[in-house]
Amino acid sequence: MQALALPLILLVVATAQAGSVFPDSPFSSRAAGTTGAAFLKLARPARSEALGGAFAADSEGADALLTNPAGLTSLQSGAPSDLSFAYNNLLESSYLGYGSYGRSLGRFGTVAAGVIYFSQAPLTGYNARGDASGSFQPYDVALSMAYARQFEGFAVGAAAKMIRSSIDDVSGMSAALDVGVQAKDVSRVGEGAVDAGASFSNLGPPLKVGGVAAPLPFALTGGFLWHATPAFNAMLDVNLPSDNDPYVSFGLQAQLWSDREKRALCLRVGYNQSHGRDIDGLTGLTAGAGFDLVGFRLDYAWDPYGDLGMQNRVTLAFRF
């Protein structure tokens, strides 16, 4: 526990010296659009997105680096390493990719590392007179390292990341910390066990690009996972983003088929309350599927945003 507490204390001190971690009017819609490094909110595995973004108690494998780092402890002693890649086709011409790797250290815990990259099609630049002055391609990148440890009855994990944003000829850097906890079988509903999880993400000093500084998109999340039957799970999260109103996310997963060779096919559906804000058309609903074949996993998520279009997310994972 001391190993996890030290980086948290250091980052809190650095944040206090650099500026407020929160925007004005935090945890309300009045703060919408006032945080920087917004790409960090988009870096989610296809599996969790198909479940409406409900991940607090359900994060697992190397993908947990992006959601709740406590879920890295699902890579238990003797389990193979997990390597995950994703490509997300987002709205308009923007896209996001990530890679993450997790490995068990046996009784010493689990370690992970990852990278996130966000960009879009080139944009036209203009000079002070309003004349076109060429094109540029903005980008954002984050590098992460994490450690998680299983204790009696619960797991704790922490991830530290370096963040860089670049717009034309100006750029800026910051650092952030994610911390999460998960507990198995905290209660029972009917015959099914209920797991719990909680995390905070993107705690760090403001990101300054050029002459403009903005707080990072800090968020708190807590939720439950209900193992209703061996083939059916339900997830519910309550989310408190520092740059918008609180919202609820909900997901259902049905395992349609599995066998002794550790092959499985799952269908997923979810609802994310935050997706439907101020957007006309079909929003909020999410859906997807996952196929697990021994050392290989493929996940897909469909995420509509009404009149703005839709997002398609794909994650490939390998165990070795």
Instruction: With a cut of 90, say whether residue 258 has pLDDT above it.
Output: no
d(CA 119, CA 34): 20
Mean pLDDT (the chain) is 89
53 pLDDT more than 70 = yes
Tokens of 260: 């002794």
Q: Which of 16-25, 52-61, 253-262 has the lowest mean pLDDT?
A: 16-25
For residues 233 and 5, the model is more confident at 233
Domains of the chain: 2-124+137-319 (2.40.160.60)
What does the pLDDT read at residue 10? Answer: 47
Confidence tier at 261 by pLDDT (50, 70, 90): low
Q: Please indicate whether residue 133 or residue 315 has the higher confidence score (pLDDT).
A: 315
Strands (E), the chain: 82-89, 95-104, 110-119, 123-126, 132-136, 139-151, 154-167, 170-189, 192-203, 207-209, 212-214, 219-229, 232-241, 247-258, 263-272, 285-293, 296-304, 310-319
* pTM summary value: 0.89
Q: Judge whether residue 90 has pLDDT over 90.
A: no
> Would the pLDDT of 105 be above 80?
yes
224 in Cβ contact with 196 (< 8 Å):
yes
pLDDT on residue 5: 47
Residue 61 region by backbone torsions, left for phi larger than 0, else alpha for psi between -120 and 50, else beta: left
> Quick one: 298 exposed, middle or buried, by C-beta within 10 A (0-12, 13-18, 19+)?
middle
Query: Which backbone phi and psi does 14 adopt, to 5 degrees?
Result: -65, -40
Place of tokens 């066998």: 259
Q: How far is CA 307 from the centre of its chain?
A: 25
Q: What confidence score (pLDDT) does residue 171 get? A: 94
In this predicted structure, the answer to whether residue 106 has a pLDDT above a threshold of 70 is yes
pLDDT of residue 76: 84
Q: pLDDT of 166-221, one tens digit each?
A: 988 899 999 999 999 999 999 999 999 999 999 999 999 999 998 889 999 999 99
Choose among 167, 137, 220, 124: nearest CA to 36: 167
Q: How far is CA 237 from CA 53, 272, 286, 298, in A?
A: 8, 10, 15, 24
Any idea which residue has 């390597």 for tokens? 83
Whole-number Cα distances in Å, 100 to 86, 261, 305: 9, 25, 27
218 or 134, which is more confident? 218
Residue-level pLDDT at 48 = 96
Taking only the tens place, the pLDDT of each residue in 18-44 is 457 789 999 999 999 899 999 999 999
